[in-house]
Amino acid sequence: MIFKKKQESFTTRNRVKIIRGGAEYFQLIEEIADSAQYSLHLQTYIYDEDETGKKIADALIRAARRNVLVYVLLDGYASQHLSEEFIARLKSAGIHFRFFMPLFKSEYFYLGRRLHHKVVVADGRVCMTAGINISNRYNDIGDVYGWLDWAVYMEGEIAQRINDICVKTWNKSVFRKHCLATNNPEYPWPDENCPVRARVNDWAFERTEITNTYRELFRDATSEVIVMTSYFWPPQRLLKRMAAASRRGVKVRLILTATADVPLAKYAERYLYRYLFRHNIEVYEYQKNVLHGKIAIRDNEFITAGSYNVNNISAFASVELNVDIIDKTIANGLHDKFQSIIEEDCVQIDKEEFWPRSSHAERLFFYFSYRIIHLIFFLFTFYFIQRKQQD
């Protein structure tokens, strides 16, 4: 197994800040890399060889040249387009570089698990986990704002936990195991008391912690849940938890994208709107650009954020990393930001108008998109479904 089966407990001695993506996020990656003294891990799904990717590469190289142990792990499907020259530059600087490989891949197809982490951690002391890939699309460049996404910047005990997850993922990301020694020194932890826990999803190896967090989110809610997510296509059990929460009088709001980079996923998502409206769940579509965030708040005190999309791919086919945070001050601040986004950048989808105004052809297209997504998911994860049945 890639991970031992255990439930992570909350660490308390942490300093935490929620980052709204864009230029601030990438600047913080550079600062984390430049502050590293002993070890540095960067793991991500998509790494583009563009202006942003080259700038982050320069920061990684600077760290390696200071004799920091630098480890870069990228998904073997989503980042396969990187040039041999780019990879050679990293390796020649002393960076340990590796792809997390699916069972099979080509330019347009993959079979098996994918590494969906978006995480950077230095010295087991400071880290960020996010939904943000390394690409110009997520950055603020000139007058163009990056896609809407979120990250959690953390200092303290939780950074050591996340460092351990990165080490284990690196060591067992291929068939042969490579031992990794990162003898990070002990650091004094921050005086702040912010409970945080790391959550992992890797269904093929029976880790479903983030899925469980979302179930608990709706099960334990007493007043309100707001979920901002891209590619909304949740497992049936989670849909039922959302509906049950709404029936108990919990206000459930979903912030989704109006414009998706994967149009088929958006059409499939809209097929679910009728179910959501039937259970009095409010739906808002973000208009400004592409919404790529993966973050939720419960009752203005609990936050979960990271790489996990609320869909079957994250639940059953990807290696995901989130953090859960319990802090009323941070949650209230994030709630205010969500409220501003809803009021200024979103359109509420009217349940009395959306479905009636959709043509019969559109409704059929939504339905077939939803079924096609199901079929693609089944084909791409069939190996693990079969393996699970045999175990």
- pLDDT at 198 (0 to 100): 97
Both 247 and 162 in one domain: the answer is no
Both tokens of 300, joined, read 């203005």
218 and 256: one domain? yes
In three-state secondary structure terms, 75 is strand
380 within a domain of the structure (yes/no): no
* pLDDT tens-digit map of 105-162: 555 555 567 899 999 999 999 999 999 999 999 999 988 999 999 999 999 999 999 9
Q: Alpha-carbon distance 256 to 272, whole Å?
A: 12
Of the three residues 194, 215, 236, the one that is the final residue of a domain is 194
Q: How many helices (H) and strands (E) does the chain have?
A: 12, 19
Domain shared by 106 and 190, yes or no: yes
Judge whether 138 lies within some domain.
yes
Quick check: is 1 in a domain?
no
The model's pTM is: 0.90
What are the two backbone dihedrals, phi and then psi, of residue 219, each rounded to the nearest 5 degrees?
A: -65, -40
| pLDDT tens profile 8-55 | 689 999 999 999 999 999 999 999 999 999 999 999 999 999 999 999
Average pLDDT over the chain, rounded to whole? 88
Q: Do both 175 and 243 map to the same domain?
A: no
> Do 331 and 275 share a structural domain?
yes
Residues 177 and 295 in one domain: no
- Residue 130 shares a structural domain with residue 52: yes
Q: Is 326 left (phi over 0), alpha (psi -120 to 50) or beta?
A: beta
Contacting residues for 54 by C-beta, under 8 A, at least 6 apart: none
The reply to whether 289 and 317 lie within a common domain is: yes
Are 152 and 21 members of one domain? yes
Whether 3 is in a domain gets the answer no
What is the mean pLDDT of the segment spanning 238-257? Answer: 97
DSSP letters spanning 110-135: EES-EE---EEEETTTEEEEES--BS
Query: In the chain, how many domains are there?
Result: 2
What CATH number did the domain enclosing 255 receive? Answer: 3.30.870.10
Note whether 119 and 245 are same-domain residues: no
Is 210 within the bounds of a domain? yes
pLDDT at 385: 40
CB 138 within 8 A of CB 55: no
Which residues are catalytically annotated?
Answer: 116, 118, 123, 292, 294, 299
Local confidence band at 391 (pLDDT 50, 70, 90 cut-offs): very low
Query: Where in the sequence is the domain holding 331, given as residue range(s)?
Result: 205-371
